[in-house]
Copies of this chain bind each other. A is one copy, B any other.
């Protein structure tokens, strides 16, 4: 029976670790962040049912910060972060140090071991990692890239019932080992997804192309929405809803609203954009990122048009996470809006339905203030609604309303001072 190591227990790594352990595999999960490790031990993990994590820990999942425990595993899944450097290049330092440690404990007796790269890496990276591993002394270890298509709040479901599994190998032997492992795993799950065997480069490109296309859909939907604003009798939510019914198009990610945000799309589009520019002189992909930033800047411009200078204005940002139902604020556009408004000297008040989102935003935003009750916004100069939560729909003020910039079509006609983006502005 294949013994499995997982390096990096973010939501991707942990969901895989739990899924494998619950289906009969011995799994060692390595996480060097002590706080994260402790949170998992105590069952405090977002996105995975606490009960399921507990069951995995009580059966075949061991978690540790000690790479030594990986000595006997057959497959090592790399699920560490690949953030984007300020210059949009990809920061591989977490992958490099994981391989370093792995080389130390694996150097003797390599056998049929394979490193499965789950982290999103730019095309060509997995092959380069395999060469680099050889220099570290791992002469026979295979390398495979198997991109993940998980949705943050349904990660376990994404591992157990993926619409497809992609295995991109540097060499045939390791590809077939990993494909065979996935077939065995899904037989145990009782659900067999299509397993596509491709080259490592193809697998890497598949992942980026998928994410970038979804980002592109969001930009497209928002820009159609802006055209709508300039027309009479136009509501882009209705337009896009009907456009999305075309099976060749599809509604997902197409709805107008906030510019795309969150921990995957922003970094992936910007990293791939720079990559494609340098590799093939194509500026299309980086331009998606630029349009997205313009969409966010436009929201601030609209505030400035109505309020004049934003310095010392009281502005509420309602919604810190990157989508409803999650607390993740990394690269969330609501969070970035709050940061930009602070830079302009505004007094910024934040709110989110998820307490963790507000708490995390606080640690990154100097001088921001928390909204305790939504009535407080009635006395402010403006409020931006970035997430479609019911509590924002119900906002009501007795006398004066603030300027409300509703980006997500939630407040409808709360007040004559409400600006509904993506709907006719000339009435």
Q: Which residue of B lies closest to A282 (CB)?
A: B223
Chain B residues with CB under 8 A of A210: 243, 246, 249
A82-90, A112-120, A199-207, A411-419 - the one binding chain B: A199-207
Please name the residue on chain B nearest to A253 by beta carbon: B248
B164 A206 Cβ-Cβ under 8 A = no
A384 at the interface (CB under 8 A from B): no
Tell me whether A263 is interfacial, beta carbon within 8 Å. no
**Given the contacts A201-B231, A233-B200, A248 and B240 also touching, CB distance less than 8 Å:** no
Q: Mark A201-217, 1 if CB is under 8 A from B, else 0.
A: 11001100110011011
**CA distance in complex: A285, B291 (Å):** 12
Contact A230 B280 (CB under 8 A): yes
The answer on a CB contact under 8 Å between A194 and B279 is no
* A47 CA to B216 CA, complexed, in Å: 34
Q: Mark A231-265, 1 if CB is under 8 A from B, else 0.
A: 11111001110110111111011000000000000
Question: CB of A228 within 8 A of chain B?
Answer: yes
A227: interface (CB < 8 Å): yes
A198 at the interface (CB under 8 A from B): yes
CB of A284 within 8 A of chain B? yes
Interface size bucket, A side?
A: 35 or more
- Asked if A16 lies at the interface with its beta carbon under 8 angstroms from chain B, I say no
A347 adjacent to chain B (CB < 8 Å) = no
Contact A198 B229 (CB under 8 A): no
Give the chain B neighbours of A252 by CB distance below 8 A: 247-248
What are the residues of chain B within 8 A of A206 when measuring CB–CB?
Answer: 239, 242-243
A222 vs chain B, min Cβ distance (A): 10
A185 to B374, CA, bound (A): 51
Q: Are A232 and B124 in contact (CB under 8 A)?
A: yes
Tell me which residues across on chain B come within 8 A of A253, comparing CB atoms.
248
* A226 to B194 alpha-carbon distance, docked (Å): 27
Of chain B, the residue at the smallest CB distance from A279 is B230
Chain B positions within 8 Å of A276 at CB level: 223, 227
Residues of B within 8 A of A209 (CB): 224, 239-240, 243
Q: Does A220 contact B (CB under 8 A)?
A: yes
Give Cα A246–Cα B211 distance, bound, in whole angstroms.
11
Residues of B within 8 A of A239 (CB): 198, 202, 205-206, 209
Residues in chain B near residue A319, CB distance under 8 A: none
Q: B249 to A214, Cβ gap below 8 A?
A: yes
Closest 9 pairs between A and B when the two form their complex, measured CB to CB: A248-B252, A199-B233, A201-B231, A209-B243, A201-B234, A230-B280, A230-B279, A209-B224, A201-B233
Given contacts A202-B228, A202-B234, A202-B238, 9 further A-B contacts (CB under 8 A): A123-B231, A163-B245, A163-B247, A198-B238, A201-B232, A201-B233, A205-B224, A209-B240, A227-B280
